[in-house]
A and B are shown apart, each in its own frame.
Chain A
Amino acid sequence: MSYAATHDQHDDHHGAPKSFFQRWCMSTNHKDIGTLYLIFALTMFFIGGSFAMTIRAELFKPGLQLVQPYFFNELTTMHGLIMIFGAIMPAFVGLGNWMIPLMVGAPDMALPRMNNLSFWILPFAFLLMLSTLFSPGGAPAGGWTMYPPLSLQSDSLAYVVFAIHLMGISSIMGAINIIATILNMRAPGMDLLKMPVFVWSWLITAFLLIAVMPVLAGAVTMLLTDKYFGTSFFNPGGGGDPVLYQHVFWFFGHPEVYIMILPAFGIISEIVPTFARKPIFGYKAMVFALACIAFLSFIVWAHHMFAVGLPLGADLFFMYATMLIAVPTGVKVFNWVATMWGGSMTFETPMLFAIAFIILFTIGGFSGLMLALVPADFQYQDTYFVVAHFHYVLVTGALFAIIAAAYYWLPKWAGNMYSEFWGKVHFWCSVVFVNVLFFPQHFLGLAGMPRRIPDYNVAFANFNMVSSIGGFLFGASQLIFLGVVIHCVFFSRKKATDRVWEGAKGLEWTVPSPAPHHTFSVPPVIHDEELAHGNVHA
C-alpha cells in the first residue's frame, strides 16, 4: 500500500489516559474532543427530535389533542434552538475537530486546552436552557429568533440569554482554534490550495462565526436590558423599535444559516470524488464559491423581514443580493455533478446520502429562490412554505451531510466497518420519509397555513396527517442510525483497512484504522499525487 506520508508507527507510544475522567473530562486530544462533540450533538439531536415528534403528534389532526398552546410554542422554540446550536453546529465542530488535524497533517489542534473548554461549556449551556422547561414561568416561547415584544414576556429569558452567551463563547473559541490550526499547523508542503475542501469550508465558516457571534450576543443583551434594566431599544413606548431587533438578529442569523451549510458543502466535496473515483471538478472554483457565499451572507439579512415594510430600494437590493447567492451555489452543484460525470461510481451509504444531499438541498435552494422574490414572499411569509424550505436546507442539507460524514469516516474512527446493509436501510427509510414529512408542507404553506400554531383549519388536515406520519417514520428511522453506529463501534468484527474506501485520497487515510490516539507527531512527507487535490496547479 502506498502512503502519502511517512506515518511514524511510534506515534501511539503515548496512549490515551487510562482513567475515564482524565480521558474524557480533561482531554486535550482532538480526536477525543471530536468524539465528545459528536456524542453531544447526537444526544441533542434526539432531544430536539423528541420535541419535533410531539409537535407533529399535536398537528396530526385539527384541534388541540396533546399539549396546551403555550407548551406547543415552547416546543417549537426549544426545537429550533437545540437543533441549531446543540445538534447541527456541534456536529460540524466535532467533525472538524476529528478531521482537520488529520487532513492537514497536524499533531493536534493549535490550542488543545481551549478546545477542551470550548466543548465543556456546551453541556452546561444546554442544561441551563433545557432547565427553563421546568421553571415556573416555562421556557421562552417566542420562537428561536426571540423577537420582541413576545420574547420579553418570558420569565426565563435571562437563562436563555446566558445560555446563548455561553454557546457564543464556545463557538468563538472553537473558531479561533480552527483558524489558528489551519493557518499555522499544516504539514510542510500542504499549501492552502492543496487543502481538502472540507478544511477550506471550515476555515471560511470559522471566520463567519467570529464575525457574527458577537452580534448575537449584542442583540440578546439588548433584550435582557429591555426586560430587566429599563432600556427601550425595542420598545416603541420609550422611543425604541422592535424592527431594530430583527435587523440586528438577522445580521447574525443569515451568516448563521451558512455556518450550518458551508461545512456540509465541504463534506460532500470530499465524499463525491471518493466514490466517483475522480478528482473534484473545479477545485479552485469550489473554494472561491465557498468564499463568495460567505461574503454574500452578510448582505442579504433583510430578506427574512420583507414583510415588515422596508423601503422599496432596500427590498430590491436584498432581493437581488439574495438571488445572487444562487450563482456560487449553482457552481458547487454543477461541479459535484461534473465530478460524478464519467466516474466509476459506486453507491455505498455515504455516497447515497451525498447524492440525496445534492438533489434535496437543491430543492431547498429553489424554494429559497421563490422566497427571495419580494412580492411572492409577502404571501409565503410565516407560512409552512418557509418551514418546508428551511427543513429541506437543514435536514436534507446539513443533517444528511453530517450523516454522510459519519458513515464516511466512522471506519477510520472506530477501526471497524459499519453494516452496509443497515446503512442502506437507514438511507432509504430516511430519504423516503423525510420527503413524506416535508414535501406536503410546501402545499400547506401555499394554501396559507401559518407556522407556529398548534391548531389549524380543517382544510389543512390531510397534508398535516401525511406530514406527521412521515415525521414519525423519519424519527424512527434515525434509531437505525443509532443502532448502526453502536454496532460498528462495539460489535462489528469486520476490520477497516487504513484507506477504507478504494477511491479515498488524502492524509487522513494514511494513518491506521482506528486512528491512533496521537498522529503526525512527526510532520508527514507530502506527495502531491496522494492528496485529494495535490495536482491542482497542474
Chain B
Amino acid sequence: MTQPVDDIHAADQRRGVRRTVKILVAVVIGFYLLAFLQILLMK
C-alpha cells in the first residue's frame, strides 16, 4: 500500500499527480525532440 486510502484529499492528489506528470513528460519529450531536431537540422 503506497497511496493513502482514507484520505479525503487522495482523489485531488491523484488528479494533481496526473496533471503534473503530463506537463513534465510533455516538457521532457519537447526538449528531447528539440535536441534531436537540432541535430537533424545541423546535419
Which residues on A are within 8 Å of B, measured CB to CB? 14, 28-29, 107-108, 110-112, 172, 175-176, 179-180, 183-185, 188, 210-211, 214-215, 217-218, 221-222, 225, 231, 233, 518, 520-523
Q: CA–CA, A518 to B3, complex, Å?
A: 10
Partner of A29, one of B2, B20, B24: B2
A521: B residues at CB distance < 8 A: 1, 4-6
* B21:A176 contact, CB within 8 angstroms: yes
Q: CA–CA, A523 to B17, complex, Å?
A: 17
* A172:B28 contact, CB within 8 angstroms: yes
* A215:B24 contact, CB within 8 angstroms: no
* B20:A217 contact, CB within 8 angstroms: no
* A214:B32 contact, CB within 8 angstroms: yes
Contacts A/B (CB < 8 Å), 20 sampled: A14-B1, A110-B17, A110-B20, A111-B21, A176-B21, A179-B20, A180-B17, A210-B28, A210-B31, A214-B32, A214-B35, A215-B35, A217-B35, A218-B32, A225-B39, A233-B42, A233-B43, A518-B1, A523-B7, A523-B9
Q: Determine the residue in chain A with the shortest Cβ distance to B13.
A: A184
Q: Determine the residue in chain A with the shortest Cβ distance to B24.
A: A176
* A179:B13 contact, CB within 8 angstroms: no
* A522:B7 contact, CB within 8 angstroms: yes
Q: CA–CA, A63 to B23, complex, Å?
A: 56
Question: What mask results when residues 19 to 43 of chain B are scored 1 for a CB within 8 Å of chain A, else 0?
Answer: 0110011011001101110110011
B9: A residues at CB distance < 8 A: 188, 523
A188: B residues at CB distance < 8 A: 9
Q: Determine the residue in chain A with the shortest Cβ distance to B30.
A: A214
Partner of B31, one of A108, A180, A215: A215
Q: CA–CA, A112 to B4, complex, Å?
A: 13
B7: A residues at CB distance < 8 A: 522-523
* B25:A176 contact, CB within 8 angstroms: yes
Partner of B4, one of A179, A222, A522: A522
Among B9, B13, B16, B27, residue most surrounded by chain A Cβ atoms (within 10 Å) = B13
Among A179, A183, A214, A221, residue most surrounded by chain B Cβ atoms (within 10 Å) = A214
Partner of A180, one of B4, B5, B20, B39: B20
A172: B residues at CB distance < 8 A: 28
Q: CA–CA, A523 to B7, complex, Å?
A: 7
Q: Determine the residue in chain A with the shortest Cβ distance to B12.
A: A184
Q: CA–CA, A430 to B4, complex, Å?
A: 43
Q: CA–CA, A520 to B7, complex, Å?
A: 10
* A176:B2 contact, CB within 8 angstroms: no
Q: CA–CA, A184 to B22, complex, Å?
A: 13
* A108:B2 contact, CB within 8 angstroms: yes
* A222:B39 contact, CB within 8 angstroms: yes
* A221:B36 contact, CB within 8 angstroms: yes
* A218:B36 contact, CB within 8 angstroms: yes
Among A184, A211, A221, residue most surrounded by chain B Cβ atoms (within 10 Å) = A184
* B35:A218 contact, CB within 8 angstroms: yes
B3: A residues at CB distance < 8 A: 107-108
A183: B residues at CB distance < 8 A: 16, 20
Q: Closest CB-CB distance, B9 to chain A, in whole Å?
A: 6
Q: CA–CA, A14 to B1, complex, Å?
A: 7
6 closest residue pairs by CB, A with B: A218-B35, A184-B16, A214-B31, A108-B2, A110-B17, A180-B20
Among A108, A110, A172, A221, residue most surrounded by chain B Cβ atoms (within 10 Å) = A110
* B27:A210 contact, CB within 8 angstroms: yes
B6: A residues at CB distance < 8 A: 521-522
Q: CA–CA, A91 to B6, complex, Å?
A: 33
Q: Closest CB-CB distance, A446 to chain B, in whole Å?
A: 39
A110: B residues at CB distance < 8 A: 13, 17, 20-21
Task: Assess A233 versus B39: contact at CB under 8 Å? Given A176-B28, A184-B13, A188-B9.
Answer: yes
Q: CA–CA, A521 to B10, complex, Å?
A: 11
Partner of A523, one of B4, B32, B39, B43: B4
Q: CA–CA, A382 to B34, complex, Å?
A: 32
Q: Closest CB-CB distance, A179 to chain B, in whole Å?
A: 6
Q: CA–CA, A188 to B13, complex, Å?
A: 11
A175: B residues at CB distance < 8 A: 24
Q: Closest CB-CB distance, A169 to chain B, in whole Å?
A: 10
Given known contacts A188-B9, A231-B43, A523-B4, what 20 new A-B pairs fall within 8 Å (CB)? A107-B1, A108-B2, A108-B3, A112-B2, A176-B20, A176-B25, A180-B16, A180-B17, A180-B21, A183-B16, A184-B13, A184-B17, A184-B20, A210-B31, A214-B31, A215-B31, A218-B36, A225-B39, A521-B5, A521-B6
